[in-house]
């Protein structure tokens, strides 16, 4: 029936108004039609029609329903999502909590950034935030974290507000919420909030899926804001399930890696007596974590080449690219030697940051490598390196190397190399290696 209706809409799309298109799309998504199996012709026709005509007459419900429907079936039309984000900005005051949550969830689900819209939502006044229920709060936080949109004031406000509501959060909402704070590395969160989530998770531990338990553990490890013994019941539950399931115990590769990081935090970072996980499970986690393969990026190759071109008297040499820390299992972008002293270098691209601040995964890696890896660590952020490029209009000018030849490509390139060498030397000097 739904398929037949969608075919009829395709044939008569021009006589449908925008509300009819939305209603039909949302009905298909929510009315039992298998997700992802809607006819592509219908989705293309509906999104094209909605983006070309009359989006300005959408009310807040129509806006939220439209993006939610297309995100639910995994169909994105960049022009449609851009148009709707601009319209949503103009009508944001009329959005209720569910419409806000559904809208940001949709943008995050299709990975379509809408920075102006998300910024406006992050400025929502406290009275409006008070109307959000647990699912709406969790979905909104998840969306901000998924799109790496910085909103520290918003995260502060939600943590203070949610403390009294945590008993209403279900398992998935607890996991998504603490994951969001860890992912954006909002480490200065209200301690009553993190302790409250941990308390609720322990109370609901038997109803939590194994992946959710690991997700909560990893998030607490990233934030590093609770006593290690407080999480013991979560580790014990994972161990119990492993013993009961034996060969049928299943976790995703990502969850196994997170569990390895959590185990290191408990037994090595904080020097607890021994891990609460059985050795077989610890070995499984370590093997998955340390077997991941990383291909060097263009940025990494450029930094490595610049290290190789530094003057020989500095005593800098490349030991290994994509090195592996034997103790922790972490991959290190470049391991270099400076006057016979080893230095780990991490070259961090955009995916490692929320705005210009390292995200939770990056901070955890740096912290554990620093405390457990026995090798000093130097991070090269992508935006600092990009500022040294000749093609960047905001290029940093060190010692006026590039002033006299701004229009000469050769001299520009030569100046870029000098700037990059100077940058690495300065970073090494700041770290007291030169």
pLDDT digits (tens, 9 = 90+) for 269-289: 987 668 889 999 999 999 999
- pLDDT tens figures, 174-208: 999 999 999 999 998 899 999 999 999 999 999 99
Lowest mean pLDDT among 43-57, 272-286, 321-335, 378-392: 43-57
The pLDDT, as a whole number, for residue 15 is 41
Lowest mean pLDDT among 38-52, 59-73, 162-176, 363-377: 38-52
The average confidence (pLDDT) of the chain is 86
The pLDDT, as a whole number, for residue 168 is 97
- pLDDT tens figures, 302-333: 999 999 999 999 999 999 999 999 999 999 99
Residue 233: which pLDDT band, with cuts at 50, 70 and 90? Answer: very high
Other beta carbons within 10 Å of 143:
24
Q: Which two tokens stand for residue 51?
A: 């983006």
Q: Which two tokens stand for residue 193?
A: 């909030």
User: Is 301's pLDDT higher than 90?
Assistant: yes
The pLDDT, as a whole number, for residue 37 is 55
CB 143 within 8 A of CB 107: yes
The pLDDT, as a whole number, for residue 394 is 60
pLDDT, mean of residues 384-388 = 95
Phi, psi of 329 (to 5 degrees): 90, -5
Using a CB cutoff of 8 Å and minimum separation of 24, what contacts does 365-369 make? 365/330, 367/224, 367/269, 368/261, 368/264, 368/265, 368/269, 368/328, 368/330, 369/325, 369/328, 369/330, 369/332, 369/344
- pLDDT tens figures, 346-357: 999 999 999 999
pLDDT, mean of residues 222-237 = 93
User: Is 252's pLDDT higher than 80?
Assistant: yes
Torsional class of 149: left (φ above 0), alpha (ψ -120 to 50), beta (otherwise): beta
Whole-prediction pTM value? 0.87
Helix (H) or strand (E) holding 19: helix 18-30
Q: Which two tokens stand for residue 277?
A: 């996980």
Residue 338: which pLDDT band, with cuts at 50, 70 and 90? Answer: very high
CB 234 within 8 A of CB 216: yes
CB 306 within 8 A of CB 336: no
Lowest mean pLDDT among 7-21, 124-138, 223-237: 7-21
Compute the distance between CA of residue 211 and CA of residue 206 in angstroms, rounded to an integer.
Answer: 12
Q: Which two tokens stand for residue 363?
A: 């901070």
Residue 66: which pLDDT band, with cuts at 50, 70 and 90? Answer: confident
The pLDDT, as a whole number, for residue 414 is 84
> 3-state DSSP call for residue 377?
strand
- pLDDT tens figures, 160-176: 999 999 999 999 999 99
Closest CA to 351 of 339, 359, 363, 340: 359
User: Comparing 256 with 2, which gets the higher pLDDT?
Assistant: 256
Closest CA to 26 of 48, 42, 8, 15: 42
User: Comparing 51 with 14, which gets the higher pLDDT?
Assistant: 51
CA angle 215, 219, 225 (to 5 degrees): 145
Burial class (CB in 10 A: 0-12, 13-18, 19+), 222: buried
């Amino acid at each position: 029936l739904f398929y037949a209706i969608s075919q009829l809409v395709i044939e008569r799309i021009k006589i449908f108004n925008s509300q009819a298109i939305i209603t039909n799309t949302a009905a298909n998504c929510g009315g039992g039609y298998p997700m992802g199996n809607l006819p592509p012709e219908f989705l293309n026709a509906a999104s094209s029609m909605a983006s070309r005509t009359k989006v300005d007459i959408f009310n807040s419900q129509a806006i939220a329903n439209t993006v939610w429907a297309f995100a639910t079936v995994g169909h994105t039309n960049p022009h449609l999502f851009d148009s709707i984000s601009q319209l949503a900005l103009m009508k944001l005051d009329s959005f209720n909590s569910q419409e806000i949550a559904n809208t940001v969830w949709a943008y995050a689900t299709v990975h379509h950034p809408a920075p102006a819209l998300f910024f406006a939502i992050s400025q929502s006044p406290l009275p409006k935030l008070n109307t959000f229920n647990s699912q709406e709060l969790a979905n909104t936080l998840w969306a901000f974290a998924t799109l790496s949109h910085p909103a520290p004031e918003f995260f502060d406000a939600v943590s203070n507000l949610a403390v009294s509501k945590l008993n209403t959060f279900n398992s998935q909402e607890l996991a998504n919420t603490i994951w969001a704070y860890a992912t954006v590395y909002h480490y200065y969160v209200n301690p009553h909030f993190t302790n409250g989530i941990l308390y609720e998770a322990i109370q609901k531990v038997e109803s939590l899926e194994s992946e959710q338990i690991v997700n909560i553990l990893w998030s607490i490890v990233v934030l590093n804001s609770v006593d290690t013994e407080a999480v013991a019941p979560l580790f014990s539950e994972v161990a119990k399930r492993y013993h009961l399931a034996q060969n049928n115990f299943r976790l995703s590769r990502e969850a196994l890696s997170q569990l390895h990081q959590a185990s290191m935090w408990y037994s090595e970072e904080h020097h607890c007596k021994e891990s609460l996980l059985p050795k077989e499970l610890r070995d499984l986690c370590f093997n998955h974590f340390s077997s991941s393969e990383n291909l060097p990026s263009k940025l990494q190759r450029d930094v490595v080449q610049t290290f190789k071109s530094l003057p020989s008297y500095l005593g800098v040499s490349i030991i290994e690219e994509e090195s592996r820390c034997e103790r922790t299992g972490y991959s290190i972008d470049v391991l270099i030697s400076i006057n016979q002293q080893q230095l780990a270098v991490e070259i961090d691209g955009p995916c490692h940051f929320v705005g210009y601040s390292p995200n939770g995964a990056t901070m955890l890696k740096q912290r554990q490598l620093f405390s457990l890896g026995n090798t000093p660590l130097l991070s090269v952020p992508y935006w600092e390196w990009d500022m040294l490029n000749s093609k960047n209009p905001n290029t940093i000018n060190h010692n006026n190397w590039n002033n006299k030849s701004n229009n000469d490509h050769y001299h520009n390139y030569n100046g870029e190399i000098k700037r990059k060498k100077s940058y690495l030397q300065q970073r090494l000097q700041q770290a007291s290696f030169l």
